[in-house]
Chains A and B, each alone.
Chain A
Amino acid sequence: MDSELRELYQQVILDHNKSPRNYRVIEHPSHFCDGHNPLCGDTINIYLTIAEGIVKDISFQGSGCAISKASASLMSSIVKGKTIEEVKSIFEKFKDMVTGKLDVDLDSMGKLAVLAGVKEFPSRVKCASLAWHTLINAIDKKQEAVTTE
């Protein structure tokens, strides 16, 4: 496989795509939002239980490509237990990483660093970001569904 392609579809991503973590519904979420990428028809539903400013539980469901599903899965495992402020600051760094805007210190990105390869594929940045945008909207309790367009 080509090295750039291997960088995008790392084993961790293929693994999260095949067995996504936290792929379920939370029955009575405190926060919830739908996300949608009209370009490729990807959809995601994010469920959250937030108490005392901390993400106590998070889950998601939806359909999408390997990048979008793996990104949602990785996100869900990373933000659990974090404060809202921490989640938002990770999101900012994540955005910079996948758009290649800044030289992000990949060591500080933990498991999310596997998605750094996305920056070489401009058409796939939205795939990687959909879950995050939807999460932020859920946290901010914005009612309207997220769209990447």
Chain B
Amino acid sequence: METSIKLNNEVFDIEKIRSDFPILHQLVHKKPLCYLDNAASTQKPKVVIDSISDFYSTTNSNIHRGVHFLSEKATQNYENTRTTVKDFLNAKSEKEIIFTSGTTSSINLIANTYGRKNVNKGDEIIVTNMEHHSNIVPWQILCEEKNANLRVLPINNNGELILEKFNELITERTKLISVVHVSNSLGTINPIKKIIEIAHKNNIPVLVDAAQSIQHLEVDVQKLDCDFLAFSGHKIYGPTGVGVLYGKENLLEEMPPFMGGGDMISKVTFEETTFNDLPFKFEAGTGNIAGVIGLAAAIDYVKSIGLENINKHEAKLLNSATEKLSEIKGLKIIGTAKEKTSVLSFVVGNIHPHDIGTFLDFEGIAIRTGHHCTQPVMDYYKIPATSRASFAFYNTFDEVDHLTSALKKTIEVLS
């Protein structure tokens, strides 16, 4: 195995990085685990696992309004994470950072609050053809309730948005544009800044689904000028069950609360309730405290490696894998956008992705097979499913080679 890779005169010590991830060092079906399902969920470095374990071992208690030592310490750790996330996204204030259970719940929050308040009969919401189901279904539910219409920005054969169609779709009835930053099934990086510029020229707010970009690219909400942004902890080497919704303060202020309950109120009587200030207005009930604290550890870890280094290594892995898999006879890559993250979807003749997935599993290789919760993308390409290898910075070029040779063996048996 290669031990170090030179990036910009800095040494990217892959062996050291891999030693940070306990799960990577195991055998699956008697073969070393080759984890290439990172777009579905990333593995956790030991610092993240330890932070959760430490919290439960030393600090566990409920946050906010506690007067005892543990509660104050837990609250401090929880709120420190808010600052970590604020800095990571370059948001203006902690008030703009709301903890949720993940990207799906962040999007649903917007649909149920901003959406229900601002979308009325005959209004329109724009999404794209490459959205994850979690950025389609909440809008469909809202549109059905309000008698509004969902409009879809199309894609081309490379899996890129056809931006020229954007202006045709925007009307005076467009109330919100919700768009994925990076496609989970194609890897396409969308020109999100440009989309936001066009939307804002028309006074339309934009929600960015950053579930697949936050772990690969710099996401600066002020540079992007996005109105809302959602991501999940588990895709950025943090725990499951925790996510973030960023929203511009003035928009969040005007929005009605989503869930009612404890923590989101200032005063409750049977006649009337006054809601709490931001961000607590949107955090009803006891949150995933350990998860939030683990998220801070994950973000700190990612920062210590450096998004630029991560991006460079992953780009090399993607290039190598694209080159090697393209040479396999009958294999077709789905998603050939110019700008991509390290996601490689493919189909091979008539061989079903599930068969490929099972064969690769017996070589220790974890990939994802199916429609990846993007059925409209599958429909566009007229395929039922793809096989998808997705790389993280702890993956190696040896693993790319292993995937290539295992795939060749699989195809030989199945075709």
Contacts and interface: CB of A to CB of B under 8 A. Distances in A.
Report which residue of A39, A43, A65 has the largest number of chain B beta carbons within 10 angstroms of its beta carbon: A65
A8 interface: yes
A-B interface, 4 closest residue pairs, ranked by CB to CB distance from nearest: A41-B384, A65-B352, A65-B354, A5-B362
Given A65-B352, A66-B352, A5 B384 contact: no
A102 interface: no
Given A41-B378, A42-B384, A1 B358 contact: no
Nearest to B369: A40
A9 B30 CA distance: 19
Contacts of B29: 2
Given A42-B384, A63-B384, A2 B370 contact: no
Task: Determine the interface band of chain A, counting residues with CB < 8 A from chain B.
Answer: 20 to 34
Contacts of B370: 39-41
A99 B386 CA distance: 26
Interface in B7-49: 29-30
8 contacts: A5-B358, A8-B358, A9-B359, A40-B385, A41-B371, A65-B353, A65-B354, A66-B414
Given A43-B384, A66-B352, 8 more contacts: A1-B362, A5-B358, A5-B362, A17-B414, A40-B354, A41-B384, A66-B351, A124-B354
Interface string A28-49: 0000000000011111000000
A2 B29 CA distance: 8
Task: Determine the interface band of chain B, counting residues with CB < 8 A from chain A.
Answer: 10 to 19
Nearest to B375: A41
B413 interface: yes
A43 B352 CA distance: 12
B358 A14 contact: no
A124 B379 CA distance: 23
Given A1-B413, A66-B352, A40 B358 contact: no
A88 to B, nearest CB: 28
A65 B362 contact: no
Contacts of A42: 384
A49 to B, nearest CB: 28
Interface string B383-396: 01100000000000
A93 to B, nearest CB: 25
Contacts of A5: 358-359, 362
A64 interface: yes
B258 to A, nearest CB: 28
Given A39-B370, A42-B384, A127 B354 contact: yes
Interface in B362-413: 362, 369-371, 375, 378, 384-385, 413
B351 to A, nearest CB: 8
B218 interface: no
A14 B414 contact: yes
A121 B371 CA distance: 20
Interface of B: 29-30, 351-355, 358-359, 362, 369-371, 375, 378, 384-385, 413-414
Contacts of B355: 9, 65-67
A39 B353 CA distance: 12
Contacts of A121: 358
A37 to B, nearest CB: 10
Contacts of A39: 370
B354 to A, nearest CB: 4
B19 to A, nearest CB: 29
A2 to B, nearest CB: 5
A2 B354 contact: no
B358 A124 contact: yes
A10 B378 CA distance: 30
A14 B413 contact: yes
Given A2-B29, A65-B352, A41 B358 contact: no
Contact of A40 (B359, B384, B414): B384
Contacts of A124: 354, 358
A5 B30 CA distance: 13
Nearest to A2: B362
Nearest to A63: B384
Nearest to A39: B370
